[in-house]
Amino acid sequence: MQSTADATRSEVTERKMWDIQKSLPPLVFTFTRVEALRRCVLSRRTLTAFSITRALSLSSSLGRNEERNNKEVATKSLFDVKEKNKRAYIDMIRKFNERQVQKRGHVEFIYAAMKHMDEFGVSKDLEVYKALIDVFPKGKMIPRNMFQTEFQHYPKHQQCAIDLLQMMETNGIIPDMEVEVMLTNIFGKTSHPLRKFMRMYYWMPKFNNLSPWPVAKPVPQDPFELAKIALQRITSVDLLTKIEVYQTKNLKDSVDKTWIVSAQSPLQKEILERLPSDQPLYVEGAFKIWLRQACVQYFILRGQPKPYTDHETMIEKDDVSRLKTPFSDEKTTFKNLERLRTVHEQAEGTVIAIAATGSSSKDSLLSWIRFLQQEDQSLGRIPVLFSMTSPFGQVVSFEEDTVKRTVGVEK
């Protein structure tokens, strides 16, 4: 009798479970929900509306987590390509648009694509930014009233578009009118991304060519060319400055075989001739100068600062009680006259020459001083000290740094 009752109870349980399954939509009733309902039924709980709702919510949350993990894996798989260039990047966006017909997960995709821009070398391409903006759905996120406009209708999507425009501004990409049309069709005429576009479209062309030291776009990748451009920018205060290029292989007993770019003006040579022989000169560096995203290290040959002489000055401009006339008995003297300071004589010291080398090592700087001594004999009577002080830490050549890192990895 007991076995018959158990069989009857199990049949009733299965019948209830299948009745609930038939009442739910087929696409919503996943395996996780079936498992949750089966556990609820087998635990002999009363199948009330509250228990069914709780089981369905639990299973739906599990389903969302699984779907999110699958999306992350799918998004990452789009970037795993062998050839990383502009064509592969555009194809990746096209595949996402074909896969996501309902435009789901496009915000996460755009953020992930922005992280891989430098990797694919498309961070300065306007066409790529247009392709990413085109991923947003059209017409759905346009605000209908003033409250939706000011409270940023669809804030997550608008912030994503603003971040994309900010990345364009950081990389110096000036948007065109096509970008305005795309943003208008996506977010409307009064949206925050369109306001960001208007500010960029007004100000960026004004500041694009405002620098007095223009640099080519893109910046040359050759360190030798970058060194010449950097020294021309630094020494532009003296138009007579001459840029010289030396090869250490042409110098006898040179240890480091590299190139040297040196900058010195005739005015600096005159200052060097007037320097006393008992005051040493110092080689200091490395200092950094940035040419867009490229960094160049340079060194200076510095002398002692020129002392300032205090002269008697008038306290007020309208004070005429101390004026001197040629009819006075006081004799005119020229003892207080002194040479005017040049642009190279600063309060921190007198800059004699500037140089950049291929290895930034002490041996290359020693070769630089020897080249200067061959051109100007007055430098041979003045001692030169290599202080190598830099605000960025100890100066280490590229070869020495590579050897130290290799040894550390082997240990």
Tell me the per-residue pLDDT of 105-118, one tens digit each, with 9 for 90 and over. Answer: 889 999 999 999 98
> Once rounded to an integer, what is the mean pLDDT over residues 69-84?
61
Alpha-carbon gap, residue 124 to 179, rounded angstroms: 15
Q: What is the pLDDT of residues 87-101, one digit of tens each?
A: 999 998 988 888 766
What integer pLDDT is reported at residue 341 of this predicted model?
81
User: Is 275's pLDDT higher than 60?
Assistant: yes
Task: Please give the torsion angle defined by the CA atoms of residues 76, 80, 81 and 82, in that order, rounded to the nearest 10 degrees.
Answer: 160
Question: Using the 8-state DSSP alphabet, how is residue 258 labeled?
Answer: -
What integer pLDDT is reported at residue 81 of this predicted model?
79
Neighbour count for residue 205 (Cβ, 10 Å): 11
CA distances from 348 to 144, 307, 343, 356 (A): 63, 11, 12, 21
What integer pLDDT is reported at residue 197 of this predicted model?
96
Residues belonging to the chain:
411
Alpha-carbon gap, residue 302 to 381, rounded angstroms: 16
> Which residues have C-beta within 8 Å of that of residue 9, sequence separation ≥ 6?
none
What integer pLDDT is reported at residue 336 of this predicted model?
52
28 band by pLDDT with thresholds 50, 70 and 90: very low
In this structure, the strands spanning 281-291 and 384-386 are parallel
Give pTM, 2 decimals. 0.63
Question: Using the 8-state DSSP alphabet, how is residue 83 labeled?
Answer: S
Tokens found for residue 266: 């005739």
| Whole-number average pLDDT of the chain | 77
What integer pLDDT is reported at residue 337 of this predicted model?
57
Question: Residue 176: which of 195, 201, 212, 151 has the closest Cα?
Answer: 201
What integer pLDDT is reported at residue 111 of this predicted model?
93
User: Is 31's pLDDT higher than 50?
Assistant: no
What integer pLDDT is reported at residue 311 of this predicted model?
55
Question: Using the 8-state DSSP alphabet, how is residue 321 labeled?
Answer: T
On whether the CB atoms of residues 318 and 327 are closer than 8 A, the answer is no
Alpha-carbon gap, residue 299 to 257, rounded angstroms: 18
Neighbour count for residue 227 (Cβ, 10 Å): 25
| Residue 168 or residue 75, greater confidence | 168
Tokens found for residue 362: 């002490």
Question: Does the bond joining 218 to the residue before it have cis omega, within 30 degrees of 0?
Answer: yes
Residue in this structure with the two tokens 């040359």, named with its chain if needed: 220
199 band by pLDDT with thresholds 50, 70 and 90: very high
Helix axes 49-79 and 106-115, enclosed angle (nearest 10): 30
Alpha-carbon gap, residue 20 to 14, rounded angstroms: 10
